[in-house]
Structure 1
């Protein structure tokens, strides 16, 4: 090979190596920037999720406690309605913030809370007395009351059980650093 051809081949090899190195460096810079943006995105999502999860747990636990109290007087029912509305608002918030496995467990909590609402609705009509009430009708109302109280307690316990599962899902979501596939 003559010297001129060797010089041209060397120049081409050097140019190809330089181009390859610049492509690799550019790719590396883009990848690092993407990782930084993703980390910042995760950090920005963490704070709203934490607040929504905390408020959701607080509202559901408040409903369960109100159910365990078993009061059906007007003030207790008004308090329960406020807690129920708060839970529905927080459920919507959790639903929008995700991720999917948290939404699934939040849906279970919400469903169990609806069972509490149904029990309290039934309890609110149990105390209605009719004219000409008999001993038999009083006994029927008393039996229904105690049956409903058990249902109410069972529904409150179901909410607490579902909240435990929700809390575990929420902790997984909060601890997710994005290093595994299928994160956020």
Structure 2
């Protein structure tokens, strides 16, 4: 028979530590991750989300053709959701005592994804799907790295990952509807 662990909270010690390290904000002794590494990864994720917002917004405005209305609506929805992700990430960076890097200088270098304008709906869909797949893989790696050392950031990234997976499925379905699913994406050309 397994013995049950009892929970004993030393409130007095917790109170003393909280007062002694008030300058550290939300980060307490229980935080085990490398804060500098987490903030760096989050700033790269922030850049990724900003690049995705910009690419989706451009595609929203540039969509044309018989299927443009429904595809453009999807682009706008994704752009708004990517902006929400960026806001969540920036908030978490501040909670960890960092500064969110919104500087346009080096934005593409910090981003995991590329900014590809795309010509026509199919290429726009493909480029956005490629970007979502990149975000999915990199966010998986960040979540794995965080483990139990920073559960708050991990849960935030897991929620963002779920959204990115949904975006990828939406884009894949739109490509299928256009009869283009299964064709390899064209080589990205940076502009």
TM-score, length-scaled by structure 2: 0.38
- Which protein is bigger by CA-based radius of gyration? 1
TM-score, length-scaled by structure 1: 0.39
Looking at both structures, which has the greater relative contact order when contacts are Cα pairs under 8 Å and sequence separation is at least 6?
A: 1
